Structure 1
Amino acid sequence: MVEPLAADALEGVPHGFLTRRGGVSLGEAAGLQCGFGADDDPAAVRENRRLASEAVLPGAPLVSVHQIHSPDVVTVDEPWADEDRPRADGLVTHRRGILLGIVTADCAPVLLADSVAGVVGAAHAGWRGARAGVLENTVDAMVALGADRSAIAAAIGPCIMQPSYEVDDGFRDQFDAGDSRFFNPGGPGHWQFDLPAYAAMRLGVAGVERVETLGCDTYAEPDLFYSFRRATHRGEANYGRLISLVGLRP
C-alpha cells in the first residue's frame, strides 16, 4: 500500500513524502522506486510514479527535473515529458492541477506552499545544493509568482539525520565558520552533520517563518526508506529513490 507522509505545516495543500512501500519494483530497490537513474525497469518506475501521484492528487500530471545538486530552479507553466526534464534542483508553479516531484535517497526533500497566493515549490536539498542556495532560490521563484515570503510554509521530509551522517574535516571545512552549530564531534577527524537543521536555517534566511521537519532518518529505517549511504555501506549494487510531491487542486 502506498503511504504518503504528510506535514502539518502544509495542511490543506495536496502533498506527500512517499516511502518505499507499495510499489512494483523488484530486487535490492524493491518497492516504490521512483528514480529513473536507479538502474530499474523504466516501466516499473513509471508505474511507481503513477501510484505516488494518484495517492496525492489523482489525475494530476507529475513534473520533475534531472537533479544535479545545483542551486537552479525552474518555473513550471506546462507539464513536460520525463525525457525532456530540465537540469535543476527546484521547481515552482502557480498552475493548478500539476504535481511537482523531487526524488531523494538521503538528501532532504523540501516542499513549500503559500496556500493563500496559490503557489507551491519543491526542492532537492542535499548539502551541496543547500549550501549553494537552492532553497533561497526556490523561495525567490515562488515570490516572483506572487507568493508572500512570510506566508510560505515549508516541510523537510525524510532524509539522513545527524546520528547517521558522519563526515570528515574536509567536508566541514567547506562550510562557513558560523555553521559550526550543525556539526557535533564524532570520532577523530570526524563530525556528525545535521542536514535538516542546516536546511531549516537556510529557509529562515530566505524569510520562511514556518518550517516543519518530519524527523525521519532514511539511513536508519530500511523498511521505509531508500538510502544511498546505507546501500554504499552494505556494498549493495543499487539503491532506490523516494519521491516527494506537492501541487494545487484544480
Structure 2
Amino acid sequence: MSGVETWTSAALGEVPHGFLGRAGGVSTGIHAGLNVGLGSDDDRAAILENRRRAGEAVLPGAALVTLHQVHSADVVTVDAPIPDDARPPADALVTATPGLLLGILTADCVPVLFADAEAGVVGAAHAGWKGAIAGVTDRTLDAMEALGARRERIGCAIGPCIARASYEVDAAFVQRFLDADPGNERFFADGGRPGHAQFDIEAYVAARLAAAGVQRIEMLGQDTYAQPDRFFSYRRSCHKDEPDYGRQISLIAVR
C-alpha cells in the first residue's frame, strides 16, 4: 500500500513478510504514523485502521494474528484467527496454516521472523532482553519443528531494533548476561559513563539463533532509537518525557 514502508529479507525467500516502520498510518500526535499498538493510548479507530493497512501491505486478505506480549519465552501455535480482545499472553507465534498473518509488535525490542518455505511453516518472535535471554527464539524453533519444519532449512531475519550505540545499560544488566554465559561479554562495549555499557541486542539474538542451528540469518541493521521519522522507540519516548509511545509491526504468513 502506498505510503507504508516495508523492509524484507532475502533470508526468508518468497514467503510473504515485511518489517514495517511508522510511515503510512493515520495516527497523529506522539503516535503519528502507523501505530498498531492496541495497548497504547492512541485512538482505537486509528489503531485498527493502521493494523488493516499493515496487513494489506504484506498479504491482502489475510487474517492478522497478534499477541498480548509480556516479555516471556512463551510461544503459541496458531491454526485459526484470534480476535484482538482474546490475544493470548505470549511473545512468539508459529503456524502452518495459510492465510494467517503473524504479527509481532516492537518499539526497540527485537522482531525476528522465521520461515521454512519447504515445510510451509513460519514464526514470529518478540525478543526483548528478558525474552531473548530466556530463550524465546529457541522455543520458536522448537514449535516450528513440531509443525514439520526442519531447523537446517529455517531462515531467520532480525528486523529494526535498538542498536548498540543507542542502548546504554548498567553493570547489573551486564552481569545478568555474564552469569548466563561468560561468552556474552562480546555483546557489550564500553559505555560513555562509568559503570555502564552499550549492549548489542541485535548481535546477541543473531548469535542465539546461530547457536541453535539456524544457518541462514540476516540482520537488517536499522536502529529504531536513532530514526524518529521511521520508527517508534520506547527508550526515545522516555528520554523525551512523552506520556506514551507507538508500536511498529513485523509480519509473516504462509501463502
Q: Which TM-score band applies after superposition, normalised by the shorter structure?
A: over 0.9
1:224 equivalent in structure 2: 230
Residue 158 (str. 1) matches residue 160 (str. 2): yes
Tell me by how many angstroms 1:178 deviates. 1.4
Q: Is the 8 A contact 1:71 1:129 kept in 2?
A: yes
* One-letter amino acid of the structure 2 residue matched with residue 235 of structure 1: D
Shift of 1:8: 1.3
**C-alpha distance in 2, partners of 1:59/1:108?**
27
**Per-residue Cα deviation, 1:40-85 (whole angstroms, up to 9, x for no partner):** 1111111101000000000000001100000000000111100000
Correspondence list, 1:160-179, <5 A: 160-175=162-177, 176-179=181-184
Q: Secondary structure at the match of 1:170?
A: helix
Equivalent residue, structure 1, for 2:10: 8
SS of aligned partner of 1:110:
strand
Give the TM-score taking structure 1 as reference length.
0.98
Partners of 2:71 and 2:199 lie apart in 1 by 18
Q: What's the % identity of the aligned pairs? A: 62
**Structure 2: which amino acid aligns with 1:139?**
L
CA deviation string 1:201-224 (max 9, x = no partner): 111122111110000000000000
Give the structure 2 partner of residue 243 of structure 1: 249
Partner of 2:209: 203
Aligned to 1:97: 99
Give the conservation status (yes or no) of the 8 Å contact 1:73–1:92.
yes
Q: Which residue of 2 aligns with 1:86?
A: 88
**CA deviation vs aligned residue, 1:27-48 (integer Å, no higher than 9, x gap):** 1110000001111111111110
Distance 1:77 1:239 in 2: 31
Q: Residue 11 of structure 1: CA displacement? A: 2.2
Contact 1:107–1:126 under 8 Å retained in 2: yes
Distance 1:39 1:65 in 2: 17
SS in 1 for 2:202: helix
CA RMSD of aligned residues (A): 0.6
Q: Which residue matches 1:233?
A: 239
Taking the aligned partners of 1:45 and 1:216, their CA distance within structure 2 comes to: 24
The separation in 2 between residues aligned to 1:62 and 1:78, in whole angstroms, is 10
Output the amino acid matched with 1:149. Answer: R
Report if the CA contact (8 A) 1:136-1:205 is conserved: no
The residue identity in structure 2 corresponding to 1:115 is: A
Alignment partner of 2:139: what SS?
Answer: helix
Pick from 119, 137, 162: which aligns with 1:135?
137
d(CA) in 2 for partners of 1:177 and 1:36?
38
Q: Which runs of 5+ in 1 are unaligned?
A: none
Do residues 184 (structure 1) and 186 (structure 2) align? no
Matching residue of 1:32:
34
Amino acid at match of 2:236: R
1: CA distance between counterparts of 2:52 and 2:6?
13
What is the alpha-carbon distance in structure 2 between the residues aligned to residue 88 and residue 238 of structure 1?
22
Cα shift readout 1:116-166 (whole Å, capped 9, x = no counterpart):
110000000011000001000000000000001000000000000000001
Equivalent position SS for 1:174? helix
Q: Which residue of structure 1 aligns with residue 112 of structure 2?
A: 110
Runs of 4+ in 1 over 3 A off after TM superposition: none
Give the structure-2-normalised TM-score. Answer: 0.97
In structure 1, distance between residues paired with 2:72 and 2:28:
30
Counterpart-to-counterpart distance in 1, 2:187 and 2:176: 13
